[in-house]
Amino acid sequence: MSGAGLADTGGEGERPTMLFTTGLWRCGRPELELLELPATHVRAGLILLDAMAGLLLEGEMPPPGEVFEAGPGLEITLQPWREVAATMDEGTPGSQAFRAAAASGDGEHSPLLGVRAVICHPEPVGAFRKVWTWPRDAVNAIESGSAALYATDHATRASQRRAQRRWETFATAFASLRRAETDAAKALRESGFSVQAPLEGGRDPDRVEQAWFRVRRFEGGKVLAALLEKPRSRDDLVEGSELPLDPVSITDWRVELPDGEIVGPERWQDLLPAVDRVRGLEA
């Protein structure tokens, strides 16, 4: 699997940054980049970069310029770095001057001058001079929480293993709120526990949508949960549709605490003490 790197110009706010993968070339794929991405969007950019790297490792490499779906309705295109860098200011990370300076001593063998693909908005922008830009719509959708990125089989299995290993902690935390007396504890039980699970029966049998659900209750060995938003792959379901989920199918879970903090499987040891504090018990 690839790693990721970041280069920026320093400062704060909307400074342009460069995100890039390291190691895809060893698997016969070009390294991926995001260029001129405002610093405030770095987290969402890393999520998109990681998802795209996984999709390209397990799937076909789309031709340069062809519109590609990173998730349902999330369209991007891959462009050769030279085409994108040609319109960038010289001092910006990823520009031709930036790469030349970074390549000092490496010459033509510098990785930044090799075969690399930039993740871009599906269409160039500009009334007179067309310019390839960062994938604004996809990044904004990821930040808003409305995006569903396609996941590789490898990534889905890894996420499911993490969720299943700590499932008992999640279930225990939910059950501990059954007789909650404080308003905060009642609100946490009603709206703070979410799970992710695959939605079978979608329009595309090769791409199973991973949907997020709000946990309502545990019943008969199942988790009765309501969809957080209308899925893209099932026309028969809407936001709020309740489905019984088999716990072994859960691929991820999270708990949003009253202060906005989110606890998932990677922080499982923090969950029960946090829930006890909401219940008014000593940590």
What string of pLDDT tens digits covers the 283 residues of the chain?
455 556 665 545 578 999 999 989 988 899 999 999 999 999 899 989 988 998 888 888 888 889 998 887 889 999 999 999 999 998 899 999 999 888 766 656 678 888 899 999 999 998 788 899 999 999 998 887 767 777 778 888 888 999 999 999 999 999 999 888 889 999 999 999 999 999 887 776 667 788 899 999 999 999 999 999 888 788 899 999 999 999 999 999 999 999 888 899 999 999 999 999 999 876 5
Q: Do 266 and 159 fall into the same domain?
A: yes
List b or e across 245-258, with b for residues whose CB sees 16 or more CB atoms inside 10 angstroms: bebeebbbbbbebe
The domain of 203 spans 153-278
Q: Extract the tokens encoding 252.
A: 């991820």
* pTM of the predicted protein model: 0.66
Assign 246 to helix, strand or coil: coil
E strands in the chain: 3-8, 16-22, 31-38, 67-71, 74-80, 116-120, 193-199, 209-219, 222-227, 242-245, 252-256, 262-263
Q: Do 137 and 7 fall into the same domain?
A: yes
List b or e across 185-202, with b for residues whose CB sees 16 or more CB atoms inside 10 angstroms: beebbeebbbbbbbbeeb
Q: Do 135 and 211 fall into the same domain?
A: no
Q: Do 180 and 272 fall into the same domain?
A: yes
Q: What are phi and psi of 85, to 5 degrees?
A: -65, -25
In a domain, 262, yes or no: yes
- Distance separating alpha carbons of residues 23 and 123, to the nearest angstrom: 28
**How many separate domains does the chain show?**
2
In a domain, 35, yes or no: yes
Find residue 17's DSSP bridge partners: 8, 37
Residue-level pLDDT at 233: 81
Q: Extract the tokens encoding 177.
A: 């709120």
- Distance separating alpha carbons of residues 154 and 32, to the nearest angstrom: 19
Residue-level pLDDT at 171: 97
CA angle, 245 as apex, 239 and 248 as ends, to 5°?
A: 140
Helix then strand then coil, in percent of the chain rounded to 5, is: 35, 25, 40
Assign 138 to helix, strand or coil: helix
Residue-level pLDDT at 12: 55
Q: Do 35 and 82 fall into the same domain?
A: yes
In a domain, 254, yes or no: yes
